[in-house]
Structure 1
Amino acid sequence: MLLLPRIFYSSRTAFHNTSNWPSVTALLKHFSTFVTPLSTMSASTLDINSTFDLPNSQYKIPKIGFGVYLSPKDLCVKSCKKAFEAGYRHIDTAQYYANEEQVGQALAESGLPREDIYITSKIMSPEEDVESTYKKVVESVEKLAGKDGYADLFLIHTPSGGKEARKTMWLALKKAKEEGKVRDIGVSNYGIGHIDEIATIDSKDALPAVNQIELHPWCQQREVVDYCKKRNIVVEAYCPIVRNEKANDATLGAIAKKHNKEPNQILIRWSLQKGFVPLPKSDNPSRIVGNADIYDFELDKDDMATLDGLDQGAKGAIVQAVSNS
């Protein structure tokens, strides 16, 4: 409730005596203590602790994560701990990266409460059946969080193994969720057809919590992104900084200069403003910190339109674009 100056309600007589009325300046000054200026309201509310709700889940996922793709074991622990110092609370690893144990070590040595850190891993291929595949998932969870621990999110890393492989991995992850070893399950590199297939494996309304795909201005994968967003599937962006391959791009450089930021920071900020969860990766301490320094500026409509205009479709992928058939 706004409190009017006392002169407005002290008495009927005082109110009708216009000489007692406060000036417009005084009124504005008074109201300014209660009303947020429009310029402040238009500023981004994003920060490194911002989260998305996950579909059909009681849990949330941080809007930015730290990737450890093939981070060497001797560096992975140091890099994760540096990421924690920089404010990251979300680590993205995989069985294929061969550093789950190092991620777990970094978490244990950080002194941070387990519930404050969001950990994602992925399974690349199944074992001979659902039960043995489930055990493979549990092995990963124990590397990450100990015998009685859990992973926040576990993904099928790729659909490329075929329908039976996808089915086995999904059912194994579903069991891991039911057993409390994993809180949420999802997919990576899945196209529309692969996601639709899940309903034939599981219940008709079953959906992944997350689809992690390659995303950056040169590979925007709009068809699958739109599909996921309509179904409230969170879209994660790997390779958000294009592995530094576009660091010298003139268009990107001009926007970076405009905001007094590095090209990588512009790309991560673009990803955030598109509603993705970017997963920048680095083992360079200064870059780890710099990649998190993206909350003191905002790309305007012209910046976003310019970056959106760089899309090359599947040709712009440096790893892979999904198949939507």
Structure 2
Amino acid sequence: MAPKVSMTVQMNTDRPIPTIGLGVYLLPLDKTAEIVETALNIGYRHFDSARLYGNEEETAEGIANFLEKNPNVFRSDIFYTTKIWPSDFGYDKTMAAVKDSYDLVKKSIGYIDLILLHTPESTTQKRLESYRALQDAVEQGIVKNIGVSNYGVAHLKELLAYPELKYKPVVNQIEINPWLQHVDITQFCKNNDILIQAYSPLMFGGRLRDPQIVKLADKYKKTPAQILIRWNLQKGFIPLPKSVHAHRILENFTVFDFEISDQDVEDLGDKTSHYYGSPGSDPTKAP
């Protein structure tokens, strides 16, 4: 029987995280706040930004605008994530970057729910120094939770063996789709109580017309995008779909009213393939 999918799931800190987030990568800067507010009105409570995206302040502004208009929704109901790029790795540079990201949003939303190291594409020393800075940011009250992104098993093992590890990463955010299942990484994270966030769950639209997806969309009377997002949810991942269009944002969130059978979840895609919707090399393979 397919697992029940809820609106939130517990992290290893026993804090909840919403099970769908809106990715804000490449949103038009002058429309970001408006798009975030639209998503909140639809029901989203989770937003995924990054220093690299250049829209942290605008994303937080959209959250603040919504909260001002909706007094029955609280800041604690909304989950805001940002990420640190390798150009800011190393203890001092990471701490400065975290404080800069915090300064951009503190007036509007007060704190950061989650900060991730954006990619392991750096050196072991810098990765670990940067993670130590994130831990110190937690203790300073700047951020509530910390994690990583694009980490392969070797990077995760390196971090978990770090003598100065105080706070295990709550998530590892990686690109996931039925043709890019990262079975080794997802199983390792499951064994170590680290949640998987799935970016590019719609593969930049690259395989929405794949016959397997079209067949399931017809079977369940849903769109291909809804099938992909629901597949992620039933696999236990936290998908982060992105769109600038209100009707697509709504469509991507309307996935809690149906279930895909266990067999269909298992059969969709190919566990051995490596189909990347996003450009570039596989960051989980970084040394």
When the two structures are superposed, what TM-score results if normalisation uses the length of structure 1? 0.80
2:271 equivalent to 1:311 = yes
Match of 2:22 among 66, 69, 80: 66
Number of the residue aligned with 1:53: 10
Assess if the C-alpha contact under 8 Å between 1:195 and 1:207 holds in 2.
no
Amino acid across the alignment from 1:230: N
The farther-off stretch of 121-130 and 168-177 is 121-130
- Measured in 1, the distance between the counterparts of 2:202 and 2:184 equals 21
How much has 1:204 moved relative to structure 2?
Answer: 5.9
Query: In structure 2, what is the Cα distance between the partners aligned to 1:142 and 1:170?
Result: 20
**Residue pair 1:141, 1:181 contacting (<8 A) in 2 also:** yes
Shift in Å at residue 128 of structure 1? 7.5
- Aligned match of 1:109: 65
Is the counterpart of residue 139 in structure 1 residue 139 in structure 2? Answer: no
Deviation sequence 1:127-176 (CA, Å, 0-9, x none)? 48523421211211222332882111100000002223212321111111
Equivalent AA in structure 2 for residue 67 of structure 1? G
Separation in structure 1 between the aligned mates of residue 111 and residue 222 of structure 2, nearest angstrom: 37
Residues paired across the two proteins, number? 279
Task: Tell me if structure 2 keeps the 8 A contact 1:224–1:324.
Answer: no
Cα 1:129–1:297, aligned 2, differ >3 Å: closer, same or farther? Answer: closer
Structure 2 residue 117 is matched with structure 1 residue 156: yes
* Structure 2 alignment gaps of length 5 or more: 68-72
The whole-number CA distance in structure 2 between the counterparts of 1:187 and 1:279 is 15
Contact 1:247 1:263 in 2 (8 A): yes
* Residue in 1 that maps onto 2:70: none
| Matched residue SS, 1:248 | coil
Matches within 5 A, 1:231-310: 231-307=192-268, 309-310=269-270
**From 184, 191, 195, the counterpart of 1:223:** 184
The 5-angstrom pairing of residues 74-93 of structure 1 reads 74-93=30-49
* One-letter amino acid matched to 1:258: K
CA contact (8 A) 1:88 1:292 kept: yes
In the alignment, structure 1 segments of 5+ residues that lack a partner are 1-41
1:122 aligns with 2:83: yes
Q: Greater Rg, structure 1 or structure 2?
A: 1
TM-score, normalised relative to structure 2: 0.90
Residue 138 to residue 147, structure 1, CA distance change in 2 (3 Å): farther
The residue type paired with residue 279 of structure 1 is: L
Q: Which has the higher contact order (CA 8 A, sep 6+)?
A: 2
Give per-residue Cα distances to partners, 1:85-119, cap 9 Å, x unaligned.
11010001000111001111101111242111100
In structure 2, what is the equivalent of residue 23 of structure 1?
none
- Alpha-carbon separation, structure 2, partners of 1:249 and 1:147: 42
Q: Is the 8 A contact 2:86 2:121 kept in 1?
A: no
CA distance in 2, matches of 1:187, 1:204: 13
Return the alpha-carbon distance in structure 2 between the equivalents of residues 130 and 61 of structure 1: 27
What RMSD, in angstroms, separates the aligned Cα atoms of the two structures? Answer: 2.1
Secondary structure of 2:230's match? helix
Equivalent position amino acid for 2:51 in 1: Q
**Contact kept? 1:192, 1:323, Cα under 8 Å:** no
* Distance across 2 between alignment mates of 1:218 and 1:209: 25
Identity %: 37
**How far off is 1:214 after superposition?**
0.5
**For 1:146, what is the secondary structure of its paired residue?**
helix
